[in-house]
A and B are shown apart, each in its own frame.
Chain A
Amino acid sequence: MSIALEHVNYVYSPGTAYEKQALKDVSFEIEQGQFVGIIGHTGSGKSTLIQHLNGLVKATSGRILYEGQNIYDEGYDMRKLRSQVGLVFQYPEYQLFEADVLSDVCFGPKNQGLSPEECEARAKEALEMVGFPEKYYRQSPFELSGGQKRRAAIAGILAMRPKVLVLDEPTAGLDPKGRDEILDQVEYLHKETGMTVILVSHSMEDIARYVERIIVMNHGEKMLDGSPREVFSHYKELEKVGLAAPQVTYVMHDLKRRGFDVLPDATTIEEAADEIMKSFEKTRSSK
């Protein structure tokens, strides 16, 4: 029960002036139930990478195993894969098209060949999962606020009951509260359903707060892979490739340099506050 990439390479428009290797020998395995963050600056290959996971883009070479089976095998059911590995694109609200929200969310299940009743049941379940208010079910998706549109679009993927949820910048363009609401909802989903979640984000603070593992992409290659603490301890390397650690990590490093007795690898506010308080208590008791 996992997704594994083995030596995946991907070359854009081979044989033309625009030829570009977007992925270079990428390998990793994501176990069912993990919450993984993917970071990398624009053009690092992370968007291309996630489009491989559900077969939208086919690797130039290498294998992708979903639940142990190579998705490039002859006769492999791609559409089933796409319903199991749900991919939410950036600004997903731009894909809404139906006259009302409920029918739009039914689009996925309908493509899976389910009966209209079953489709609707799943759509309602999915809308509930993302905390979409019931009173808007019959409203046109184009009249909703930005945050609600985003929820409806994510529900459109969840209605297929995927086992893996891949989100590309799910909070882009939302205000801080909207951002927290969406991410909290995703975290809740992850805990409740045991779904694998892969989150692509530019915000190191968000990534540090939610995920248990980070994969860093740079120029099409996997640069780092580990827990937030491990990955952000390489903050100097991250800076070289146009990334950064969360602000608090920098604060901790500064404190350490100024002689504080702290472990500098905190990545969230809580961890940092705990660590700072501990160091203050130590100095107090030694006095």
Chain B
Amino acid sequence: MIRDITIGQYYPAQSRIHRLDPRVKIVCTLLFLVSLFIQNSLLGYVVATVFLGCVIRLSKVPLKFIVKGLKPVVILLLFTVVMNLFLTRGGNTLVHFWIFTITESGLRTSVLMAVRLIYLVMGSSIMTFTTSPNGLTDGMESLLHPLNRLNVPVHEVAMMMSIALRFIPILLEETDKIMKAQMARGADFESGNIIQRAKAMIPILVPLFVSAFRRANDLAMAMESRCYHGGEGRTKMKPLKYKAGDIRAYIFTVLYVVMMFAVGRFVPFRLWIF
């Protein structure tokens, strides 16, 4: 059900990863994502797996939780795998029936692509699981601070993101409730053609919008009454300061990226087609 979506959620725990500066986590996550794309060898994926494994271990977030975060991208994943599997040509043909052909390089690409995508999602969800949304937005704000000079409202954007993250679970729960309430009035969301189904969404969407407006109104009032007036003159409860652990994390990640690069380029290790 709706409440199973874990992506973008914070998982409170006391771990080394949780304690890292959010800026470190954002930058390192980006580096990790880049590292997945700069090479394409089996050994490289082994290195990436070890790195990811270590980070997950250190983060104390249960693996089950992270795997659940993959649910929303399963369709995309399957789509990519199938497309790559059947459409990539090259190397020996492994299977051939009717119009479908699976080649060695098709299999290779689709498997590696799947792993790459999975790691991509896992890597970024580790970041959101271990960083409170406020920390995350603080980190973004700080990293994007130079853009302020170009008149980009960095603080406001960061605040908006943080509010969005806070209200995701609330609105999901609300959607669930409204759906049930309309079902209790005999609404049917499952049968009919596309147009009928789209129409059946109106009784959900209208109340949802009304409620979102009401909440927005309330929240704005609550923020104002607590003297919120934009980023100017604001102090921080948790100002970002690099500590020794943060520097270590940077170094560790950079070393990892270099390793990935080196392994992908210079170590000719192959196993069957991979």
Contact = CB atoms under 8 A, between A and B. Distances in A.
Consider the complex of A and B and state whether they touch directly, i.e. have CB atoms less than 8 Å apart: yes
A51 B211 CA distance: 22
Given A17-B62, A95-B207, A82 B186 contact: yes
Interface string B175-192: 001101111111110000
B59 to A, nearest CB: 15
B140 to A, nearest CB: 29
A56 B185 contact: no
A27 B34 CA distance: 58
B202 interface: yes
A97 B206 contact: yes
5 contacts: A88-B184, A94-B177, A94-B210, A95-B182, A97-B207
A89 to B, nearest CB: 5
B207 A96 contact: yes
Interface stretch (A63-71, A105-113, A212-220): A105-113
Contacts of A87: 184
B91 interface: no
Contacts of A285: none
Interface string B147-159: 0000000000000
A16 B186 contact: no
A108 B187 CA distance: 8
A86 B181 CA distance: 10
Interface in A29-86: 51, 54, 56, 79, 82-83, 86
Contacts of A56: 180, 183-184
Interface string B53-94: 000000000101100100000000000000000000000000
Contact of A107 (B64, B177, B203, B211): B203
B8 to A, nearest CB: 17
Given A51-B180, A89-B180, A94-B178, A111 B187 contact: yes
A79 B202 CA distance: 19
Contacts of A160: 185-186
Interface residues of B, number: 24
B232 interface: no
B71 to A, nearest CB: 12
B185 A107 contact: yes
B177 A89 contact: yes
A92 B183 CA distance: 13
A29 B219 CA distance: 44
Contacts of B188: 79, 111
Contact-residue size bin, chain A (C-beta under 8 Å from the other chain): 20 to 34
Task: Report which residue of B4, B182, B186 has the largest number of chain A beta carbons within 10 angstroms of its beta carbon.
Answer: B186
Nearest to A107: B185
B181 A95 contact: yes
A283 interface: no
A13 interface: yes
A112 B202 CA distance: 18
Contacts of B182: 95, 107
Contacts of A156: 185
Given A13-B3, A86-B184, 6 more contacts: A82-B183, A89-B180, A94-B211, A107-B186, A107-B187, A160-B186
A97 B203 CA distance: 6
Nearest to A86: B184
A142 interface: yes
Interface in B1-42: 3-4
Contacts of B178: 94-95
A275 B151 CA distance: 77
A157 interface: yes
Interface in B198-216: 202-203, 206-207, 210-211
A86 B68 CA distance: 36
B187 A92 contact: no
Contacts of A92: 181
A17 B65 contact: yes
Contacts of A83: 186
B203 A54 contact: no
B103 to A, nearest CB: 39
Interface string B98-117: 00000000000000000000
A97 B199 CA distance: 13
Nearest to B1: A13
A61 B227 CA distance: 52
Contacts of B181: 89, 92, 94-95
Interface in A142-167: 142, 156-157, 160
Given A94-B211, A95-B207, A97-B206, A54 B184 contact: yes
Contacts of B186: 79, 82-83, 107-108, 111-112, 160
Nearest to B182: A95
Nearest to A51: B180
Task: Report which residue of B174, B188, B202, B207 has the largest number of chain A beta carbons within 10 angstroms of its beta carbon.
Answer: B207
Contacts of B211: 94
B112 to A, nearest CB: 30
Contacts of B4: 13, 16
A88 B184 CA distance: 8
A142 B181 CA distance: 17
A111 B185 CA distance: 7
